[in-house]
């Protein structure tokens, strides 16, 4: 069975704080892909990052960084110096290599950044 757990339902921070969104996944496949999507209040899901299971290198993109650890089945997302525009629901998702490109979403974490 494949599953994604985002234990944090809601996080509230003040602008300029750093915040980490947790994602833990379960799969028996050796080849899989992990994604993060952002859903702002407008509703559109915006792709942030894709990582395959053979690439454990952490990634940094501006204020965003991702920490992929296969040993703990985690793919955590950190926003440095948060801004009000970061307020959104963030979804972590998993796709296995077999079958088709079906995203298995976590429940999402709602991030509220206050001025």
Partner 1 sequence: DAMVIQNPRYQVTQFGKPVTLSCSQTLNHNVMYWYQQKSSQAPKLLFHYYDKDFNNEADTPDNFQSRRPNTSFCFLDIRSPGLGDAAMYLCATSRDRGGMRDEQFFGPGTRLTVL
User: Which residues of this protein are in contact with partner 1, per CB under 8 A?
Assistant: 31, 33, 35, 37, 42-47, 50, 52, 91, 95, 97, 100-103, 105-108
User: Contact at 8 Å (CB) between 24 and 4?
Assistant: yes
12 or 31, CB closer to partner 1?
Answer: 31
CB of residue 39 vs partner 1: minimum separation in angstroms? 9
Q: Cα torsion at 95, 96, 98, 103 (round to 10°)?
A: -20
57 or 101, CB closer to partner 1?
Answer: 101
Residues 65, 76: Cα–Cα separation, whole Å: 8
14 or 52, CB closer to partner 1?
Answer: 52
Q: Quick one: 54 exposed, middle or buried, by C-beta within 10 A (0-12, 13-18, 19+)?
A: exposed
Residues 84, 69: Cα–Cα separation, whole Å: 29
CB of residue 69 vs partner 1: minimum separation in angstroms? 20
CB of residue 3 vs partner 1: minimum separation in angstroms? 12
9 or 71, CB closer to partner 1?
Answer: 9
Q: Given phi > 0 = left and psi -120 to 50 = alpha, else beta, which region is 73? A: left
CB of residue 18 vs partner 1: minimum separation in angstroms? 25
């Amino acid at each position: 069975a494949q599953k994604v757990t985002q234990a944090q339902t809601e996080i509230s921070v003040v602008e300029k704080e750093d915040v980490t969104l947790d994602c833990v996944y379960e799969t028996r496949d050796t080849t899989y892909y992990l994604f993060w999507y952002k859903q702002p209040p407008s509703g559109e899901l915006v792709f942030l990052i894709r990582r395959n299971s053979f690439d454990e290198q952490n990634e940094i993109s501006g204020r965003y960084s991702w920490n992929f650890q296969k040993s703990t089945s985690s793919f955590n997302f950190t926003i440095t110096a948060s801004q009000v525009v970061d307020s959104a629901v963030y979804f972590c998702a998993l796709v296995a290599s077999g079958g088709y490109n079906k995203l298995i979403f976590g429940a999402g974490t709602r991030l509220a950044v206050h001025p």
